[in-house]
Amino acid sequence: MRELPQGPTPPRNGDAIETDLLLSRRAVLSGAGALALLGVAGCSTSGGGDLPALQFDDTVTGSVPIRPSISVDKNITSPDVMYAALTDNGFNVPEVPYLKVKPEFRRQIVVDTTGEAPGTIVVHLKERMLYLVQPGGDAIRYGVGIGKDGFRWSGRANIQYGREWPTWTPPPEMIQRKPELVKWQGGQPGGLTNPLGARALYIYQDGKDTGYRIHGSPEWWSIGQAMSSGCVRLINQDIIDLYSRVSKKNPVVVM
């Protein structure tokens, strides 16, 4: 095909025909592109118009599915609300200075990456995180404190039961290490200074008590640290929230 004439010289008849054909071909291709874009956008077009019907392959190769937004939960809101002071069973739980808690350790909804069934509690010791798996691909994540080296437990088990403002009884080996705890060998009543905090979930494996708990703690500054005697501790406001969501028989994975 010859080049289109340049400048003001009018085209000859043959040139005009070629120009018309070129422009018509461009219009068809432009219309095809527009229709293809509409198809990708999920729009539909109705019949009619002068363009001939065009056949398109609408198969998307290598597409990535779009995940719905994470869910909304009325108890997962701004930290000044979640960690405000509250009264629970007659105990006045003080507010937590949440600005001193790393943002990643505050209660939040995240995409579930555990691969576990909904209702499973997953504790990642290395991350210092606890996940409660939700239906639909989400998880509620809480920051936790974990046991010191030599005091950690891992494995699969179940929550056997739970207690609100539980009594804490130090095991004999702990009393040997800390003789001042002998005063609590019969059990320390629940309260604001109790090491188990506002709630405790008791971990059993094959029907036997592991001796490990998921519990609250008045020591909010210990979240993210490895300083307990093996149990998994949460901020009191967070263990109250977690406790309200479990059936007391939930599977537990500590890894």
Q: Which residues are designated catalytic?
A: 215, 231
DSSP letters of 67-93? Answer: PPPPP--TTS--HHHHTS-EEETTEEE
- In the block, tokens 């002998």 appear at 182
- Determine contact, residues 192/91, Cβ cutoff 8 Å: yes
Which of 17, 233, 56, 48 lies closest to 144 in space, CA to CA?
Answer: 233
Contact 124, 164 (CB under 8 A): no
Q: Half-sphere exposure (CA, 13 Å, Cβ side) for 68?
A: 7
For every residue of 130-178, which 3-state class applies, written as one string?
EEEECCCCEEEEEECEEECCCCCCCEEEEEEEEEECCCECCCHHHHHHC
- In this structure, the chain runs to a length of 255
DSSP assignment of 8-61:
SPPPPHHHHHHHHHHHHHHHHHHHHHHHHHHHHTT----S-SSSPP-----PPT
Determine how many CB atoms are found less than 10 A away from the CB of residue 223. Answer: 22
Separation CA 122–CA 254 (nearest Å): 6
